[in-house]
Each structure stands twice: as structure tokens, then as C-alpha cells.
Structure 1
């Protein structure tokens, strides 16, 4: 493919950068670091700003009320937002559930849920993984038994990110106990206020609360909340998980890490000299620079494959996931190492208020140790590296 600079994309990037610079309220800038979802009020306020610009759904087609941007334009938007430290949108609603609703939901379901996604007033979580059914998602055991106009749901989900804050959950359940495991799965939307739902926190290694166990005890869900036909859950899930492969590496985070390492290179001292004067630091920075640029080129290649609907994009996306997440881990570790003693300063809650010790480059140093711990999970969530390697092997060797 052609890797020459695209003047149209350069102009688009400048437009996004100018909009973010002018439209981002000062009190919202610089948080969170990217590993945590913003607080509800911040999500809603930023969503209103994007809606006024006509960018409320950056990842959707124009026919669905979105921007109609290409994959590369979406990536540029993400990069500029991460670099500026904007609040997050609700990624579960915008990137995962929204496209599913646009493709599979009834008009009544769209009318019920899409306006709340645009306003940011209904936060979502994802109920997929279960104890013993993480990498092998199709082996899930949470069941939903039909009882008239309702399903009665019983079971447990785990690693349910932001379930303690979510208003609704999109949920995979087993509705046919006899069918082969992929065929008996159904996709439901469930109000988290429904009686019988219990959320129990999981404190993760980064000392934050964003993960949960979620229990369903005779939870009655209207059949009207089913997306697609009964048993269509696996088909819908494949659509959801395979929607975008070029984003698997999380390139905006990698570029932000590279920018922060460069800032530290000039500002942080090692003895009398700046870090960049140290040969071993300069060498590692150069290697990170080369690796990020290589991933950026691979992202463009996968984006072109997606635009051409090439089946090879699936395996290439898995390669990106492995390389990108492993690089996230190495770069976040290097940032902590580069901050020296300051890198060990941990903050139990990213949103916590109170006195803080002085840090070099305060905005960047705050919480970097927590983020390094968070990135230990990046090779697990979204499909483990082992699963990704299996996908690559099957695609390349046609197993």
C-alpha cells in the first residue's frame, strides 16, 4: 500500500487538534491518564461538546447518526483526544454496543437506547467473561430460561469493568442447554437496577476499583430486551469483537507514552546531565520510537485491509494486539524507571483529591505507577496473547 503522507489526513488532524484546543473546558483537561473511564459528569459534559460539533458518535456511519469517518480518521481523533487529556466517552456504548444496535436492534430498541448514548446519560458495561469462561467465551454458563414475556437469568460474570457505575449491561446468556455451545447463546440488554443483580468489587493490582464480579439471581429480563433472534448471540458477538482490527494496538496510548518519554529525556536529570545524555537511555528511546512507528505503519495497512473487507485483517489485527500490548507494558515500565524514586509514588484512586507530593512533570508523573500495573492486564483483556496467537496460526497455516 502507499505509505506516503496523506494531505487530507494532515488537514483533518489539524482540524481535530484546533477543535480540541478550543472546545475542551480547561477544568476537564489532562484526566484521566487513559486507563480509567472518566467520571459520569465529565463523560456527559464532553459528550455535549462533541454533539454540538456533530462528532457525538465518531465511530459510526453517517446513516446511523455518526461522523462516517474512516478508520484512520477515527484513530487520529483518538490520538488527539489522548494527547490533550480529554475526558473519555463511554467506550462500551460508543465502540461496542452502538454498532451492534445500529446493525441488529429493532426500531423500538434504537429509540430507547441510542439517544442516551448520544447524551452520555446512560452508562454501559459488558457482561461476557465468566469464571472459567474467559478465553473460551463460548463455554459461558449463565443461563436464561424463557418464562412468558421474560427471561429468568441466573449465573455469574467476572471482570465486569465499571459494573458498579453502569446503568445497563449488555449480556451474553445461554438460552439453549442442548445446542452446541456457540449456537445456544443469546444477547440481552439488562437494566442494572433490576432486582436480583449483585455487584461485588474486585480491587486490581493498580489499586483501583474498575473491575467487579456480577451475580444474577432469578433476574427477570423482558424478551423485548433481546437483540436479534434467540440463539443469535454468537453471531452478534463476532460482529462486535471483529468490528475494528486496526485499533487493537491502542496506538494513541503508545504515542502518548513516546511523547512523555521524550519530555522526560530533556527535563529529568541523571546527576548533572539530562537523561537523554545517557547512552543507554537514548538507545532505548530510539528503539521505542522505531517500534511505535512500525506499529503505526501496520495500523495503516490493517485499516486499508478493513476498508477492502480483506479476511486477512483478522489475523493482522491479532498481530497488532500482541505487539501493541507488549509494547505498552515495556514503555509504561520504562516511564516508571525513568522517573527514578518518583516513579514509585502510587495513588490508590485516580480521582482522589488531597495533598500530593511534588513530582517532576506533575501531570504526567501522577499515577504512572498505577498505570504500569494496569498495563500488566493489557495482554489479557480483549483476548489474551495466547488466544491471538492461535488466531494467527489458524489464519496463516489454515489449521
Structure 2
């Protein structure tokens, strides 16, 4: 693909900046760094975007999206991150939304998409289980179809784990086993479940960054209308492959990488080291230059993978796995460099950015707060979304099929 700058994109960038300046309330700008905003902020931001016609910035126009090019999507992400806006619900924007657009019935789309795009419905993902993480096909949560005079329904029993933001979600999209007599991949179905349904219990998991974004979710005789099945019974594995194959470019978290690098550059030019600035130290300047070069390379690979995905090119699978490995490792190295740049202040434990600080202000608090949280959070980046070991296996297997 052609990586040369497109002059027309600068006009689009200015359009996004003008929207951020003129249409976004001040309390939705300059927000603390985080991977996902609080529920209320997400819902307000989504409603505002949808009213402006930008409620689905990553979807094609025929599905109610903006129809933006890959380059425009990246500019939108970059400008929103730089402005400090809330995040969107990535589960529906990058994962469930494309699935519904491709596999849902008109009735299912009418029930879920308008409410979701208008910020009235947040989602979580129920895939991983104890003993079925990287080996997702081994999941054991059962859904048994029951014929009834008051409507056919599934009775769901089982457990999901690492259910991100289940405590904020209104609905969950999940994989369930509907047939135990066939090959394990063939007996899986894709189900939508209202989180207010009796029998669902959500228990928090406090992660290494001391934040509550993970959960374990239990289902005990949960009654789900049969109309909430997406696609055919037993088609869950095929739908999941479609979902995963359409999210390679997003696993890089390029907006966060750019944000981390902006903050690292600010530290380098602000913090003192000896008689000069940190950036005047040759060893640190060399590290900063290498990280900057890697960020640029990841940015180009994101564009390449996203373009391949839009063309449904099989090469996106191999390059997407390469991107996942390199980008998540880069996230770890940048956040480590931030902690190192802060010296003693980088080693302190801080409250989560959206929680009140338990200690009085101290030097560098504004710069340091959230840095350690991100460094700890990114320890898991090479695990979630498919471990680096799994990704390398995919690369080794698929590169000979192209």
C-alpha cells in the first residue's frame, strides 16, 4: 500500500479537531489516562457521537457507520486520544457490531443496534472460562434449548472468567455449548444475554494494576429467549473466527502507544537528570529514538493489516498475529521506560486514575499518576487477545499457506 501523506487527510483531521473544539463539552475533554472510561462518560460520549453521525466510526456506511477509510479511522482515534475524550465501547464497535451486521436477523439488529449506537446499552464479552482461555474450543458453559408454550428458550449454566467490565455492562455476548455429541468446535453457539436476567452473578477480580475491570461471571439456570441466538445453532465457532479475524488491527492499541510516547517525550524534556534534562543523557536519548522508530513501524503495520482485513485478504491473519506480538511488546517497553524515567516516583503505588488519591499531593504527581497502573496493566497485553505463544504458532502454521 502507499504510505505517502495524503493532503486530503489534513482537511479531515481539521474537521475532527473542529468537532472536538466546538461540539464536545469541557468535562468530556482532558480526562485521565485509562484504557476504558467510566460507564457514564462512555454513554454520554457515544450519544454525542451518534447525534453527529459518528456513532460507528469503524463500520461501513451500509451498516450505519461513517464509511471512513483506514487512515481516517486512525486520525479520529489519534485526535480523540490527544484531546482526552472518553473511550467508546470497544466490544460493540470492534467486535460485536461487525458480527451483528454480518449474521444477525433484521429483528435482532433493530433490537440491539439503535440502543447501542445511542449510548443506551453497553456490552461485555463472555468467551474465556477456567480451563478454556487459549484453548477456547474447550469451553463448558451449557445452553440447553427448552420448548415452551410461553416461548422457546435456552437454559444456561456455567462460568466465564476475565469478563472485562461485566459490572458495567447491560448485555453480554457469549459462547455456549449447545451440543456435546459432536466435535468440540461444532457444538458451540453464539448467544446474547441480558445481564439483568435472574441467575447471573458477577464477582470482581482485582488485577495487578489494582483496578477493577475484570470479573468472573456465573450463570445458574439463566433463561435466555431462543431469539437471542445469533446465526444457526452450532455456528458459534465460525462466527468467532470472523470476529477475531476482524480485530487484528485493533489489538495494537495504536492510540495508546502514541499517548504513551507523547508522555514519555514530555518526561524526557521536562525531568532533570544531573545538570541537564533527561533527554540530554545519551543512553536515554538512544532508547527514546528506538521506541519512536518502533512506534512508526507499528503505525504502518496497523494500516497495512487494516487494509488487508477490509479486502478480506488471508494475509491479514499472519500479519495480524505479527502485529499483536510486536505491538504488545512495545506497549510493555514504553510503559517500563516511563516508570524508569520517573525514578523513585515511578515506583510508588497510585490510585487508579478515576479514583480519589489516598495521599496528599507530592512532586510530579500530575505526571506520575497512572503511569505505574499502565505499566502493570500492560504485563497482560501479551496474554489477552491470544497469547504471544499462540500468535507465533499461528504465524508458523499460516505463513506456508499463503
Q: Give the aligned partner of residue 387 of structure 1.
A: 390
Instruction: Spell out, residue by residue over 1:311-342, the C-alpha distance to the aligned partner (whole angstroms, 9 max, x if none).
Output: 11110011000000000001001111111122
What residue number does 1:193 align with? 196
- Point out where structure 1 has 5 or more consecutive residues left out of the alignment: none
Return the alpha-carbon distance in structure 2 between the equivalents of residues 2 and 239 of structure 1.
27
Instruction: Select 2:377's aligned residue among 363, 374, 384.
Output: 374
Provide the alpha-carbon RMSD of the alignment. 1.6
Partner SS, residue 173 of structure 1: strand
Q: How does 1:317-356 map to 2 (within 5 A)?
A: 317-354=320-357, 356=360
Q: Within 1, Cα distance between the matches of 2:212 and 2:349?
A: 14
Which residue of structure 1 aligns with residue 76 of structure 2? 77
Q: Give how far 1:169 is off.
A: 0.5
- Residues 95, 247 of structure 2: 8 Å contact kept: no
1:347 Cα offset (Å): 2.7
The alpha carbon displacement at 1:359 in A equals 4.3
Instruction: Between 202-211 and 289-298, report the one with greater CA deviation.
Output: 289-298
The corresponding residue for 2:88 is: 89
| Mean Cα deviation higher: 156-165 or 78-87 | 78-87
Aligned to 1:357: 361
- Cα distance, 1:186 vs. partner? 0.5
Alignment of 1:89-128 (within 5 A): 89-128=88-127
**For residues 355 and 382 of structure 2, what CA distance do their matches in structure 1 show?**
27
In 2: Cα distance, 1:287 partner to 1:65 partner: 40
Counterpart pick for 1:260 among 254, 260, 263: 263
Match of 1:5 in 2: 5
The equivalent residue for 2:144 is 145
Rounded Cα–Cα distance in structure 1 between residues aligned with 2:6 and 2:247: 21
Contact between 1:144 and 1:154, CA under 8 Å: does it hold in 2? yes
Please report how far the alpha carbon of residue 52 of structure 1 lies from its aligned counterpart in structure 2 after TM superposition: 2.5
- What are the Cα deviations for residues 155-199 of structure 1, in whole angstroms up to 9, with x where unaligned? 110000011111111010000001111111111111111111111
Q: 1:33–1:85: 8 Å Cα contact kept in structure 2?
A: yes
Picking from 218, 226, 231, the partner of 1:228 is 231
Please report how far the alpha carbon of residue 250 of structure 1 lies from its aligned counterpart in structure 2 after TM superposition: 1.5
Deviations 1:43-99, CA, capped at 9 Å, x for gaps? 121112212321011111111211011222212211211121110111112211111
Alignment of 1:42-81 (within 5 A): 42-81=41-80
Deviation per CA, 1:339-377, whole angstroms, max 9, x where unpaired?
A: 112212333333213565234371x42211011100001
- Residue number in structure 1 paired with 2:131: 132
- 1:238 and 2:241 aligned: yes
Distance 1:361 1:14 in 2: 33
Structure 1 stretch 301-310 or stretch 233-242: which is displaced more?
301-310
8 Å Cα contact 1:186/1:229 also seen in 2: yes
Relative to the length of structure 2, the TM-score reads 0.95
Does the Cα contact within 8 Å between 1:94 and 1:117 map onto a contact in 2?
no
Give the secondary-structure state (helix, strand or coil) at the position aligned to 2:318: helix
Q: Distance in 2 between matches of 1:301 and 1:164?
A: 35
User: Match of 1:180?
Assistant: 183
Quote the Cα distance in structure 2 between the aligned partners of 1:227 and 1:304: 27
Gaps of 5+ in 2: none
Q: Does the Cα contact within 8 Å between 1:359 and 1:365 map onto a contact in 2?
A: no
Q: 1:32 Cα deviation (Å)?
A: 4.1
TM-score after normalising by structure 1: 0.95
CA distance in 2, matches of 1:197, 1:15: 44
Q: Is the 8 A contact 2:245 2:309 kept in 1?
A: no
The aligned counterpart of 1:16 is 16
Distance in 1 (CA, whole Å) between partners of 2:373 and 2:142 is: 36
1:289 matches 2:288: no
